[in-house]
């Protein structure tokens, strides 16, 4: 059965163009020119994905998304916002939208965002999602492989840079983030950035280090690691779990 994608925009040319592209890609497009019409289609057709503009007459994109995320029946439908208003991203991310695209947006970028949102939705129904952040060393790579074998019902995602981690977290909505805090002086700020999003206020964040603090012989380096961990806890991390090797023995 074709996946149904609702497209909402007050510009009929835009709606028809996106609808035609979706049809060629094998999806079933559902088209609406405002939020009221979109709500009716959601009620009647239960789309698998919603694509919406922000500025529309009557019920605008923000109010529409707010209603979708407030109702139990519709809160898990993935939403992609397609707009010219770049400065509105955080307010929509706080509502829980999956992707935020700015106009003009080329067709390939747009379709890739739709596929990501649908994939994330399917994955969240069958897997717990855990993100692991840190420099991709041979040890970390081995840890990811071990965890994937040990926990087939968990999707483990890796983010090397801070920028990638925040973007991936917004897209994947992990239940747990494990981040390299003992060795990274910027880890606390990363946690603060994550916790600034409403959807991540209750996110479980754990902190690890390259080595066990008790084994660090250099007093200055040990003190720095302890201070970084303390700052991470203050920023919102739940706890320090120890060295990277201990992650392999965790239960998820």
pLDDT at position 171, please? 83
Give the mean pLDDT of 134-161: 89
171-201 pLDDT, tens digit per residue, is 888 999 999 888 888 889 989 999 999 889 8
CATH architecture of structural domain 4-124: 3-Layer(aba) Sandwich (3.40)
- H or E stretch including 100? strand 99-102
Question: What percent of the chain has pLDDT above 70?
Answer: 100
Domain ranges of the chain: 4-124, 127-249
pLDDT at position 15, please? 95
Instruction: Decide: helix, strand or coil at residue 211.
Output: coil
Q: Which CATH number fits domain 127-249: 3.60.9.10, 3.40.50.2300, 3.55.40.20, 3.20.20.140?
A: 3.40.50.2300
5-51 pLDDT, tens digit per residue, is 999 999 999 999 999 999 999 999 999 999 999 999 999 999 999 99
Above 90 in pLDDT, residue 127? no
193-235 pLDDT, tens digit per residue, is 999 998 898 999 999 987 788 788 788 888 888 999 999 999 9
> Is the distance from CB of 45 to CB of 1 less than 8 angstroms?
no
Q: Strand 79-83 to strand 28-32: parallel, antiparallel, or no bridges (unpaired)? A: unpaired
């Amino acid at each position: 059965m074709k996946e149904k994608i609702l497209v909402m925009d007050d510009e009929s040319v835009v709606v028809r163009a996106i609808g035609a592209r979706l049809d060629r890609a094998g999806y079933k497009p559902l088209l609406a020119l405002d939020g009221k019409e979109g709500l009716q289609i959601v009620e009647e057709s239960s789309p698998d994905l919603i694509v919406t503009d922000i500025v529309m007459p009557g019920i605008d994109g923000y109010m529409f998304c707010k209603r979708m995320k407030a109702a139990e029946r519709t809160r898990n439908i993935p939403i992609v916002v397609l707009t010219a208003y770049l400065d509105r991203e955080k307010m929509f991310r706080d509502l829980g939208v999956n992707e935020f695209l700015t106009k003009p947006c080329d067709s390939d970028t747009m379709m890739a965002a739709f596929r990501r949102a649908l994939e994330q939705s399917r994955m969240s129904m069958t897997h717990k999602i855990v993100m692991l952040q840190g420099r991709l060393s041979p040890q970390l790579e081995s840890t990811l492989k071990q965890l994937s074998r040990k926990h087939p019902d968990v999707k483990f995602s890796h983010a090397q840079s801070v920028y990638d981690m925040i973007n991936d977290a917004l897209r994947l909505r992990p239940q747990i983030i494990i981040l390299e805090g003992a060795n990274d002086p910027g880890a606390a700020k990363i946690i603060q950035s994550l916790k600034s999003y409403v959807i991540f206020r209750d996110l479980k964040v754990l902190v690890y280090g390259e080595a066990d603090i008790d084994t660090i012989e250099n007093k200055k380096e040990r003190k720095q690691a302890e201070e970084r961990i303390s700052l991470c806890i203050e920023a919102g991390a739940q706890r320090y779990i120890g060295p990277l090797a201990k992650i392999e023995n965790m239960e998820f």
